[in-house]
């Protein structure tokens, strides 16, 4: 079992990643937002934030979300809307909230939600993380936001970040309510769980599957639910420095330190791995017929994942790959000027294809 815990920590690290300095302490924000320049109150004539709750009907789970409305919002008018999906291990108060707020400033109604079983949303066992749930989360957010006062249900877009970007690619393949699709630092969670980051753990897959099956068998006869390690486990600076990829090191800093949030546990049930390992973002990508924008850091360790999916998106002629100069995967979550460059690109893309 020690072998399982060690290898799962390595694969976990590649799906829960973050940044470095500019942040808001969630304790000092009334909405517990962690990002720089986050809203602290609602004011007339400005972008406002509205905590909401709704059902994900396939699982009967209560989902919590934040809806951001644009300046001078009037519910009798019609606005395009954008669903924003967070990274694996993340919550709506982190990077998905940042981009939801930025896009609301451009005139969109946006929604950032916590995935089922995670964050403030309900569902047990806690931190179950299965692809079918994450894809349904995105669909359920569209169900809700399409009925929100002032939303034009015929003009709904999607933005997925990191693991949420991968699940957005899958959702867009079959849900044509989303008429424009964008990703930032898209992450192919299934490939990382199966093969390791940069395909570095292919030789251990059968052993890992065997270990996971043993955990499932123990739980089936009443054993305690087993979890992968989380970034909540303290690491020394020396241990962080020894992590093998820049994305791991920056990820620990983001989730455990600079942008930490108590609802962001960054781990999942061992049982989840049976579904995650069999999952792959990079299948049936040709079913995406919508306009597609894929954004990634020029220096991101994960860039190959975005490039592969983009190349296979043969069902749309309206597609663009935008590389953020000098940015790593995690720096697209928080660092300037990268966040502004990404926001500008998203504004142009959704302005051309959603409004």
Task: Please give the average pLDDT of every successive group of 10 residues along the chain, which has 355 residues.
Answer: 46 41 83 97 97 92 98 98 96 98 98 97 94 97 98 98 98 98 97 84 92 95 89 74 83 90 90 95 98 98 97 98 97 97 98 94
Sheet holding 151-161, edge to edge: 48-56, 61-69, 109-113, 79-85, 151-161, 178-184, 292-297, 319-324
> What is the predicted pLDDT for the residue at 232?
55
Query: pLDDT at position 128, please?
Result: 93
- Whole domain around residue 110: which residue ranges? 2-353
**φ, ψ dihedrals at 314, nearest 5°:** -85, -5
In the prediction, which pLDDT does 157 show? 98
* Residue with the two structure tokens 């590389």: 323
What is the per-residue pLDDT for 8?
47
Residue 187 sits in a domain of what CATH number? 3.40.50.1820
pTM of this structure: 0.92
* φ and ψ of 129, to 5 deg: -135, 85
Distance CA 183, CA 338 (A): 15
Total of domains in the chain: 1
Residue 70 is predicted with a pLDDT of 98
- Residues 29-62: tens digit of each pLDDT: 999 999 999 999 999 999 999 999 999 988 889 9
């Amino acid at each position: 079992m020690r072998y399982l815990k060690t290898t799962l920590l390595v694969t976990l690290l590649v799906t829960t990643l973050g940044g470095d300095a500019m942040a808001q302490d969630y304790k000092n924000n009334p909405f517990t937002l962690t990002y720089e320049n986050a809203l602290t109150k609602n004011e007339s004539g400005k972008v406002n934030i509205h905590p909401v709750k709704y059902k994900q009907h396939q699982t009967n789970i209560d989902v919590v979300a934040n809806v951001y409305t644009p300046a001078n919002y009037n519910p009798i008018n019609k606005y395009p809307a954008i669903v924003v999906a967070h990274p694996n291990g993340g919550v709506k108060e982190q990077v998905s909230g940042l981009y939801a707020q930025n896009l609301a400033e451009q005139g969109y109604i946006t929604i950032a939600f916590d995935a089922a079983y995670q964050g403030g949303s309900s569902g047990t066992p806690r931190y179950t993380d299965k692809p079918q749930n994450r894809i349904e989360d995105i669909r359920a957010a569209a169900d809700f936001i399409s009925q929100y006062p002032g939303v034009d249900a015929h003009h709904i877009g999607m933005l997925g970040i990191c693991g949420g970007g991968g699940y957005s690619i899958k959702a867009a393949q079959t849900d044509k309510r989303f008429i424009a699709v964008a990703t930032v630092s898209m992450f192919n969670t299934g490939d990382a769980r199966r093969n390791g980051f940069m395909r570095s753990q292919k030789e251990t897959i059968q052993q890992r599957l065997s270990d996971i099956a043993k955990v499932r068998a123990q739980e089936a006869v009443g054993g305690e639910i087993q979890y992968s390690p989380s970034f909540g486990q303290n690491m020394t600076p020396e241990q962080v420095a020894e992590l093998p990829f820049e994305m791991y090191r920056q990820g620990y800093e983001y989730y455990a330190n600079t942008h930490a949030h108590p609802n962001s546990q960054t781990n999942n049930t061992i049982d989840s791995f049976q579904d995650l390992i069999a999952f792959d973002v990079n299948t049936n990508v040709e079913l995406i017929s919508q306009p597609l924008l894929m954004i990634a850091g020029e220096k991101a360790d994960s860039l190959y994942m975005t490039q592969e999916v983009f190349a296979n998106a043969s069902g749309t002629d309206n597609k663009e790959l935008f590389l953020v100069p000098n940015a790593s995967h995690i720096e697209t979550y928080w660092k300037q000027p990268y966040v502004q460059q990404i926001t500008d690109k998203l504004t142009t893309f959704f302005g051309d294809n959603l409004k």
